[in-house]
């Protein structure tokens, strides 16, 4: 496999939480991929609710102790995991966590995971279930790396290798996804279908098969994601509802409860996975 130079890593320490966070300077080599390294410097432990996001989240654990994943099917220890765009109610817990987290847009996930995001619907599964022994070898290489720069570069190189010979998402589906993201979910399905020359029924079928969501649900999820970020940044529910295109605060409240199972106020005080 070729060597790739993605530049140095920027490492920050949140003094309040004790989390060390490293980002690759200059981004990543594949479109639709973001990543970061996380280390619990104070051993405070992780207790994280996994929320729906317009991305597939991959967490590659670097420590000896697996993460505990609680979901509708029970508790499962996982060294590395994958959470689909709509993972269902799940929590991730673990002591002294150290990991690389990768955020994949659906088109990027379609290339590097080896399955359509649709097959991850409603679940958080082990990465080894998808990548087999490649997952173990990657974790071993990351564990042997001495710096975050090396770890992030290795992960980036690995993803490029997986994408090299993988099939890509249909161009029309990928373009519709990008339009939904660019317009922050404020789109009409009829306009999306017209933009790629397809009927509404054909777009609905192709998009759902490759993304794992209907176009309408994808738009709702993208809008919710922007609202969740704004709420977590301290903006009021009234301002968020207006800025994100909700009819009113009640509409925002219903959407937050549907996706997160809580009120906008409670969501504002919580954390989500985000590289």
CATH code (residue 58): 2.60.120.10
Last residue of a domain, one of 120, 145, 164: 164
Are 141 and 188 found together in one domain?
Answer: no
Residue 219 belongs to some domain of the structure: yes
Average pLDDT over residues 258-267: 91
pTM given for the model:
0.89
pLDDT band at 37 (very low <50, low <70, confident <90, very high): very high
Are 106 and 181 found together in one domain?
Answer: no
Are 18 and 102 found together in one domain?
Answer: yes
Are 129 and 13 found together in one domain?
Answer: yes
Are 84 and 27 found together in one domain?
Answer: yes
Are 134 and 189 found together in one domain?
Answer: no
Are 87 and 143 found together in one domain?
Answer: yes
Q: What pLDDT does residue 5 have?
A: 42
Q: What is the pLDDT of residues 16-32, one digit of tens each?
A: 678 899 999 888 999 99
Number of independent structural domains in the chain: 2
CA distances (Å), 96 to each of 18, 34, 47, 91, 118, in order? 11, 23, 11, 16, 32
Contact 43, 267 (CB under 8 A): no
Domain that holds residue 72: 9-164
**CA geometry: angle at 110 spanning 104 and 112, to 5°?**
70
CA distances (Å), 2 to each of 139, 157, 159, 215, in order? 18, 8, 12, 37
Are 91 and 144 found together in one domain?
Answer: yes
Spatial separation of the C-alpha atoms in residues 45 and 96, rounded to whole Å = 5
Q: Crossing angle, helix 215-232 and helix 249-260, to 10 degrees?
A: 100
Q: What is the pLDDT of residues 144-202, one digit of tens each?
A: 998 999 999 999 999 999 999 899 999 999 999 999 999 999 999 999 999 999 999 99
Q: What pLDDT does residue 236 have?
A: 95
Are 65 and 148 found together in one domain?
Answer: yes
Are 196 and 129 found together in one domain?
Answer: no
Are 124 and 177 found together in one domain?
Answer: no
Are 158 and 22 found together in one domain?
Answer: yes
Residue 135 belongs to some domain of the structure: yes
Residue 111 belongs to some domain of the structure: yes
Q: What pLDDT does residue 268 have?
A: 85
């Amino acid at each position: 496999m070729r060597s790739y130079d993605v530049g140095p890593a920027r490492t920050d320490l949140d003094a309040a939480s004790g989390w060390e966070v490293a980002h690759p300077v200059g981004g990543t080599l594949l479109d639709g991929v973001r990543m970061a390294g996380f280390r619990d410097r104070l051993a405070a432990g992780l207790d994280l609710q996994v929320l729906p996001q317009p991305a597939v989240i991959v967490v590659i654990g670097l420590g000896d102790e697996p993460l505990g994943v609680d979901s509708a099917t029970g508790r499962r220890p996982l060294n590395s995991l994958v959470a689909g765009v709509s993972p269902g109610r799940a929590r991730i817990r673990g002591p002294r966590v150290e990991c690389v987290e990768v955020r994949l847009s659906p088109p990027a996930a379609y290339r590097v995971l080896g399955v359509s995001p649709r097959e991850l619907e409603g679940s958080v599964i082990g990465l080894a279930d998808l990548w087999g022994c490649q997952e173990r070898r990657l974790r071993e290489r990351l564990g042997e790396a001495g710096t975050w720069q090396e770890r992030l570069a290795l992960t980036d190189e690995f993803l490029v290798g997986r994408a090299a010979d993988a099939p890509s998402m249909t161009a029309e589906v990928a373009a519709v996804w990008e339009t939904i993201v660019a317009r922050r979910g404020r789109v009409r399905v009829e306009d999306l279908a017209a933009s790629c020359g397809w009927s509404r029924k054909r777009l609905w079928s192709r998009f759902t098969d490759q993304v794992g969501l209907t176009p309408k649900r994808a738009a709702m999820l993208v809008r919710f994601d922007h609202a969740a970020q704004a709420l977590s940044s301290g903006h009021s529910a009234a301002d968020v509802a207006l800025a994100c295109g909700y009819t009113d605060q009640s509409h925002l409240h219903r959407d937050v409860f549907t996706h997160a199972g809580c009120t906008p106020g409670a969501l504002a005080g919580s954390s989500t996975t985000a590289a």
